[in-house]
Each structure stands twice: as structure tokens, then as C-alpha cells.
Amino acid sequence: MSSKSTFSGSTSKSYALALYEISKENSELNKVEEEMQNLSKLLNVNQDFKEMILNPTVSKEDKINVMSAIAEKNNFSKTIRKFLGFVANKNRLFFLEKIIDSFLSLVSKSKGELKAKIISSKELSLDEQKKIQSDLSKDFKSSLNLDYKYDPNLIAGLIIQIGSVMIDTSIKTKLKKLEKNMLEA
């Protein structure tokens, strides 16, 4: 299993690096970054789209057509259109989420940004996300690229991860620790 995850990780990083280099060469890095962020949001919001790219029974041609339609509708750059077509043609769309994450990490590193992951138990408004991002940027004395996710299963609280630093104030984690302590007693 670990060799499989290593293969998917290295393959995703290879595709992401290729896209990064081409985008940089074509002076489209900012536009491609924005388009990849939009694609990531689409994957997180549209479960049908996510299931389609992960479904091995959907034909390669159908996947190519769907990716082309999405690129057309969102007015994606020529670089992204070709890239998505290439990935779909190679039957590697099931790596798309990892490719996007790897690409966005490369862009963040090139800008000197730290990547912060925040998971909250309640949906945060854009203003609340920006406030948290601003406060964390001051604390870490570096600009941050915020990756926000909403998870109602946390019950209450936040999980914040920046690099190797993790702050978990969620009630779910506190309850699990309490349960473990009670079982060990």
C-alpha cells in the first residue's frame, strides 16, 4: 500500500512540476494558480464531478469532453486546457486533486509563503478566514496561503496546521483523548 501511495505522490508531483515549469515559462503562473484554485474548489463542492473523475467505468473520451467543457465554461488559459486534456488523455484524472495540491504548494514555496490548513466545526465567512490568515501571518512572520475546510464532525473548535506545527482545539479530539484516558484507567 505504501508503494502505491508513494507512486501516486511522485506521479502527482511530476505532473505538478511540469505544469509549474510550463506556466512559468509562458508567464502565466498567477493565472494558472487561480485556475487551479478554482478547479480545487469545484472538486470540493461538486461531488458528481469528483466521482466522475475517480470512476474507472467512465470512458476516457467522456472525461476528456467533460474537462474540455469545464475549461471552456471557466475560460481557462490555453496552458490549463492543454494540461487537463493531457492528464485526461493519459487516464490520470484520479490524481487531479493531488496534482492541484502539489502545484499550489510549489507556487506557494516560490512566493515564500507558508501553507496553513484550517478545519473548522462551523462554516467561516470569507472575512473570518481573512482575519485568521492575517493573525497567523503576523504570528509566523510570513505570508500564508490558507487552505480552509469545513467539517461539522468536529463538534466545536478548530484544527490549524502550518508546516509541522499543529493546533487542535476541536471537541472531537478532546473527547477521544478523554475516552482513551478512561479506558486506560
- Each domain of the chain, given as residue ranges in start order, spans 2-109, 113-184
Distance between CA atoms of 175 and 171, rounded to whole angstroms?
6
Total length of the chain: 185
Pick among 1.10.520.20, 3.40.50.2000, 3.90.1720.10, 3.30.530.20: CATH of 2-109: 1.10.520.20
- E-strand ranges in 91-157 read 114-120, 144-150
Residue 83: the pLDDT is 92
Distance between CA 31 and CA 71 in Å, rounded?
13
pLDDT at 165 over 80: no
3-state secondary structure of 81: helix
- Beta strands in the chain, from DSSP E residues, in sequence order: 114-120, 144-150, 158-162, 165-168
Tens digit of pLDDT for each residue in 131-161?
A: 888 887 787 777 777 778 888 887 787 888 8
Question: pLDDT digit string (tens) for 81-139?
Answer: 999 989 988 888 888 999 998 898 888 888 877 777 888 888 888 888 888 888 877 87
Higher pLDDT, 182 or 114: 182
pLDDT of residue 3: 45
